[in-house]
Each structure stands twice: as structure tokens, then as C-alpha cells.
Amino acid sequence: MNGGGGQPPLSMERRTMSYYATFDALITLSRDLDMDEISQEAERDFCLRETVIDNVTDTTFDLWFGEYTDYTDDAAWAFLAKITPHTVSGEIVYQGEDNTYWRHRFDKEKGEWLEEEGYIDYEDGGKSVQELLSFRNEPEKDSQDELER
């Protein structure tokens, strides 16, 4: 699913109310966007104190942000919809206040943002949470059942 179209299935809690989450984002955008303007929009839409613009070339620039702040699904998808036509690559990884993980990942082939649920794969024991974190593009069966009710 993409930011320009429908929204992917999410837990109803994240969809309908604000939710505190830790963000870690790195998005490469084309220079046809105003860097300062899109940085300010990211700060406003994601309730951030600061964003960082880095690796500026003639054709692209990187937008980075990472923070623990208030997350709303509607604001995230609205921002992603704005930048989709200008996105070269990108990923935003989230850890929610209840220790759930998910990410938005730009699929270059489809030209859209995907949401993927995260899970900890303990089969590789002895690693950090970041090393054990995996993502799946399909929601778990329980999540779909909850939405259908």
C-alpha cells in the first residue's frame, strides 16, 4: 500500500489515536524539492525538534531524523504522500511505546511506500534487538481478523 493510495492494515490503536514512538529515518530525495521546506514539513508532520539534511549532490539529498515523539498514522502517510514522487530511497523504522516495531520502506520498483510490521526473530540468539529485528509486508492473521470485526 502506498501513501498516495489507501492505507495498509494497522492496529486500530495506531490508526485512530496519537502514539509515542521512537523514529529512525533516512530518506533520499531528488533536488526538485525545496530542502528547507520539506525539512520543516517533516518537523511539523512528525512533531520533530530537528531534521538533518546531508549528502547534498546536484541531483539528490538525504533527509534524516530520529526522535522519540508523538506519532499519528494519518500525519505519517500524509507526509509520505507528499514526498513519494521525489523519493529515490527511504526507510523509517519505528519502535512504539508498547515495544512494537514497524517501518515504512520505499519500494523503488513500485514507486510507493510500504508499511511492514516488525518482529523479533530469536532464532539468531545473542544479538542486539536491531540485529534480530525483521519485517514482514503482510499483516499477521490476528491483525486482519481484528480489522474485519
Q: 101-115, pLDDT tens digit by residue? A: 999 999 999 999 999
Higher-pLDDT residue of 109 and 144 is 109
**Structural contact between residues 108 and 86, judged by C-beta atoms closer than 8 angstroms:** no
Domain spans of the chain, in order of start: 17-148
Three-state secondary structure call for residue 148 = helix
Q: Would you state the pLDDT for residue 68? A: 84
Alpha-carbon gap, residue 21 to 131, rounded angstroms: 19
Report pTM: 0.75
C-alpha cell at 23: 523514529
Q: Would you state the pLDDT for residue 105? A: 96
Q: 10-64, pLDDT tens digit by residue? A: 444 455 567 788 989 999 999 999 999 999 999 888 888 889 999 999 999 999 9
C-alpha cell at 88: 529515490
